[in-house]
Structures are given as structure tokens and as C-alpha cells.
Structure 1
Amino acid sequence: MKTWLSIRAYAKLVGKDFDEVLALVDSGEIVSKEEDGEIFIEADSQRHLPSASAGGEVLKVDLETGDGIQFVEKTIGTILTMHEKVVDAKDETLQALKNENQFLKDALMSMQELYDEDRKTIETLSNELNATREELEFMKRKYKLMWGKVVEKHAGAEK
């Protein structure tokens, strides 16, 4: 798929006057087309990019030797490799987070089970404590009934 720029946008991109770009179009040095009365330039026409500008250097592509194309291909390859490494690192991070979340979930479930067991133990101990209190009260009443009068007689006789 080709990308097309208006002639004014292309002129601005390559740093040339509109008339210079129009002359290049007329001479056939630049691939162009006309639609609705407006001229469009193929954006891949890099032959007329400036080799240097006031703001800094611009990569000069020599289309015949392919040196610039090889540089661009290597750069794209490097970017793709770095992207793959980032994606792999992201996947590893996600897997580590999933593992950590599973560990935390298991720990939480284990703590919940321990809590339930402790709650049952507390309930059982509370029931046993209440039963022991009732038994103690029963034994006190029984003791008073059995030994209360004997203790009173014996306490009264010693006086």
C-alpha cells in the first residue's frame, strides 16, 4: 500500500519550494498522481529528501547501493527484537503475578479453614465450660444440702 502526500506537504517535508517540487513532478523524477485537481506525491519518494538541514542531520538513503535501506532494516530488526523481549518480560511478569495471586489465594483459604476450625473449637470449649459451671452449681447445692446442717451443728458445738 502506497502512502500519498499532497504536493505542499511533500514540499514542506523535503524542505523545497512548491515550484521546485512541481518541476520535479513535471520532469517525472517524482511519482505523482492527480485527483480532484490536486497533485499527490508518493511518500516513498526519498530521493529528494535533504541530506542535512539546519536542525541536524537527516539519513541519506542511497537507493542504488541500498546502504540506507540495510540500516533501516537493521534498525527495524533491532526494534522488533526489543519489542519481543518486552513482550516476553511482560508475559513473565504476568505469570509471576498469577503465581503470586494463586499463592495468596491458597494462603487465604488455608487461614479461613484454620479460622473455621478455631471457631468450632471455641464453641466446643464454651459449651464444655457452661456444662462445667452448671455441674459446679449443682455440686454446691448438693454439698449444702448434705453437709450444711452438719457444718452448722459442728460450728455451733465448738462455740
Structure 2
Amino acid sequence: MDILDLNKAQATQQNEQEVEDKEKESKEPVVLEDLSALAWLELEEFSRLSGLPKERILELVNLGKIKSKISHNKLLIDASSGTNALIKKVENSLISMDMNGRSLEPVFVEKTINTILNLHDKVIGAKDETISAFKNENMFLKDALISMQEVYEEDKKTIDLLCDELNQAREEIEFMKRKYRLMWGKVADMSSVNKK
């Protein structure tokens, strides 16, 4: 196996962090629901991915270092908090090994990195699913809004048509009133002429 160049990995990580920071500054804040809502793993799957025994995971849950919840009678572990707990554990192990003067074995480092990458992939997958769900919801809302707009336009045309008909009916009524007055005015004039 190849020995990892830690300096290169740290430099790459710093560059990625700088790019993320620039992207955060350039974008307006977007309020989304908690993306970690879809990043829950079952205890067995988390144990398999992290390489930790179930007892140790339960111990970390009891200590509050890993978030968990029970859903459908299954213990679910939050992948992001689990990743953070593993990173801290590995960090502490690396520091203690370094202080004892022992060298780190490349296999240990590689397994640790693979575990972290696997958990990271799960979190990214959950994030992508959430984004996809938001896009689908937005498309649904957009279609509903367009449909409502079409109904509004049709109702507006109907109201305009009814207003025109109402105005025509008013004009006809006014015409009939004038005709009626004119007719009765002539009758009144004729009766006054006949009386004379």
C-alpha cells in the first residue's frame, strides 16, 4: 500500500475549505430544512461503516457524543454526528500515538480515512436526496401556481364578460325608461291638448 502524503492531503483540505468559504460568502443564505434529517443510519450499518463494535457505539450514544433516535423500533444514528465523533476519536488517538513516539501505520490511517469517506458519502447522498425532494416540491408548487394563474385569468375574463352584459342591460333599462317617459310625456301632452 502507498503511504499517504499527509501534507498534500492537508493542503488539499485547506484549499477545499477556502473554496467552500468563498462560495458561502458569494451566495445569499438559503434557508432549508435540516438536511441531516435524511442522514440517519441503522446501528448495524453504522457499525459496519465505522468499524466500531455496537457496544462502543451505544456507549458513545449514552455519553451524548453521537446523536441517535428510535424510529420504527430501530435505533438510528446521525451520520454527521457519528462522523464528528469518529474524527475526534481518531484525532485523539493520533495525538496520543504521536506523544508516545510511536509511528502511525499506513493501514490504520487508510482505514480511518476510508471510514470517514464512507460516512461522508452517506451524508452527501442524504443531502442530494433532500435537494432532489426540494426540487420536486418546488416543481409541484410551480405547476400549482401556474394552474391557479390560468383559473384566475379565466375567472377574470368571465367577470369582464358579465360586467359588459350588466352594462348593456343597464343601458337598455335606461333606454326603456327614456322611451317610457317620452311616450307618457306625449300621452300627457295629447290629453292636455284634448282638454283644451
Question: Normalised by the size of structure 2, how large is the TM-score?
Answer: 0.47
For structure 1, the 5+ residue unaligned runs are: 1-27, 33-39, 45-55, 150-159
- Number of the residue aligned with 2:110: 63
Q: Say whether residues 1:94 and 2:94 are aligned partners.
A: no
Counterpart Cα distance in 2 of 1:99 and 1:76: 34
Measured against aligned partners, the alpha-carbon deviations of 1:39-72 in whole angstroms (never above 9, x if no partner) come to x92327xxxxxxxxxxx85542753362221111
Q: Following superposition of structure 1 onto structure 2, how do residues 24-35 of structure 1 map, counting pairs within 5 Å?
A: 29-31=6-8
Change (3 A) 1:84 1:133: same
- Number of the residue aligned with 2:188: 140
For structure 2, the 5+ residue unaligned runs are: 15-64, 66-83, 91-108
Counterpart Cα distance in 2 of 1:29 and 1:83: 33
Q: Following superposition of structure 1 onto structure 2, how do residues 9-158 of structure 1 map, counting pairs within 5 Å?
A: 29-31=6-8, 41-43=11-13, 57=84, 59-60=86-87, 63-64=110-111, 66-146=114-194, 148-149=195-196
Higher relative contact order (CA closer than 8 Å, sequence separation 6+): 2
Query: What is the one-letter code of the residue matched to 2:8?
Result: V
- Report sequence identity in percent: 14
Q: Is the 8 A contact 1:31 1:41 kept in 2?
A: yes
Shift of residue 88, structure 1, vs aligned partner = 0.7
Change (3 A) 1:108 1:29: closer
Of 94-103 and 76-85, deviating more is 94-103
- Number of the residue aligned with 1:25: none
Measured against aligned partners, the alpha-carbon deviations of 1:69-90 in whole angstroms (never above 9, x if no partner) come to 1111111000000000011111
Which one has the bigger helix percentage? Answer: 2
Q: CA RMSD in A?
A: 2.6
Query: What is the one-letter code of the residue matched to 2:13?
Result: A
Q: Is the 8 A contact 1:31 1:42 kept in 2?
A: yes
Q: Is the 8 A contact 1:63 1:69 kept in 2?
A: no
Q: How many residues align?
A: 104
- Number of the residue aligned with 1:21: none
Shift of residue 95, structure 1, vs aligned partner = 1.1
Shift of residue 30, structure 1, vs aligned partner = 2.0
Question: Normalised by the size of structure 1, how large is the TM-score?
Answer: 0.57
